[in-house]
Amino acid sequence: MNDAKILVVDDEPTLSEVISYNLRQAGYTTVTAADADEALRIFKEEKPDLILLDVMLPQGSGFDVCRLIRQQGSNVPIIMLTARIAESDRVLGFELGADDYVLKPFATRELIARVKALLRRSRTTSDENPATDLLVSASLGMTIDTDKRSVAINGREVKLSRKEFEVLALMVTHPGRVFERSVLLERIWGGESVVDERTVDVHIRWLREKIEPEPSKPVHLLTLRGIGYKFQP
């Protein structure tokens, strides 16, 4: 997918140009933005296939941009660029809908590898999920529209982040199968991501809050202590 268009959002002109130059050398088209407002405007105008998004920006933050893009219903892949390494920052980014993190300073080859991997996973997910409504659980009244990447329970739309959707779609298409945390981490986030198995636990907790009748007493997204999780229709 080297014909993809990538939006680079960073307020450091030199770094932005270096990133853009290397992406163009890898065969991608690039557009750039230097602040949060400009990033949102260019996102709407250019409709990029992936966004590289610095956390610290003028006119807002990368977290603000990520949140607003997801609120618009877009599932465009987002990689956050940050020098902030606190776990709370990473969790916040994933909660808002980011797909991956790259810590500054980074090697250009690593960044390009992350871009390629995320674009590949994004395209593979789309190719493997034809446009169809799938009845997943009669007891939940849940349907998954794999084309629109949306979920509804009893006709009410349930807002999920990109990663929440991917976790749920994977598990419900294999009802009863036990997924180890490491397997979910590899299948959904890929081996390149700077995330650990606690990220899986966090996403399962968020999913329970959104789809379980009683999140504190789950009956569909079940924990197998010391092993992982399974979906029970």
- Statement to judge: residues 84 and 186 lie in one domain: no
CB 30 within 8 A of CB 9: no
User: In total, how many domains does the chain have?
Assistant: 2
Q: Which of 127, 142, 174 is the last residue of a domain?
A: 127
Last-in-domain residue among 100, 127, 154: 127
Distance CA 23, CA 112 (A): 7
> What is the pLDDT at residue 129?
46
Same domain assignment for residues 113 and 202: no
Is 119 in the same domain as 156? no
Same-domain check for residues 101 and 159: no
User: Could you give the CA distance from residue 201 to residue 125 in angstroms, rounded to a whole number?
Assistant: 22
Q: Is residue 189 within 8 Å of residue 195, measured between CB atoms?
A: yes
Which SS3 state, helix, strand or coil, does residue 208 take? Answer: helix
Give the contacts of 1 (CB within 8 A, at least 6 positions apart): 49, 116, 119, 120, 123
Please, are residues 189 and 93 in contact by the beta-carbon 8 Å criterion? no
Range of the structural domain that residue 200 is part of: 129-231
- Contact in structure between 104 and 96 (CB atoms under 8 Å): no
pLDDT of residue 120: 82
The whole-number pLDDT of residue 132 equals 47
Looking at residue 131, its pLDDT comes to 43
Interacting residues of 100 by C-beta distance below 8 A, sequence separation 6+: 77, 78, 79, 80, 114, 118, 189, 190, 192, 193, 194
Highest mean pLDDT among 95-104, 194-203, 208-217: 208-217
Write the secondary structure of 5-72 as one string of H (helix), E (strand) and C (coil): EEEEECCCHHHHHHHHHHHHHCCCEEEEECCHHHHHHHHHHHCCCEEEEECEECCEEHHHHHHHHHHC
CB 137 within 8 A of CB 171: no
Q: What percent of the chain has pLDDT over 70?
A: 87
Q: Strand 5-9 relative to strand 29-33: parallel, antiparallel, unpaired?
A: parallel
Residues 102 and 143 both lie in one domain: no
**Cα 61 from Cα 57, distance rounded (Å):** 5
Q: Are residues 122 and 140 in the same domain?
A: no
Average pLDDT, the chain: 85
- CATH code at 176? 1.10.10.10
Per-residue pLDDT of 35-69, as tens digits, reads 999 999 999 999 999 999 999 999 889 999 998 99
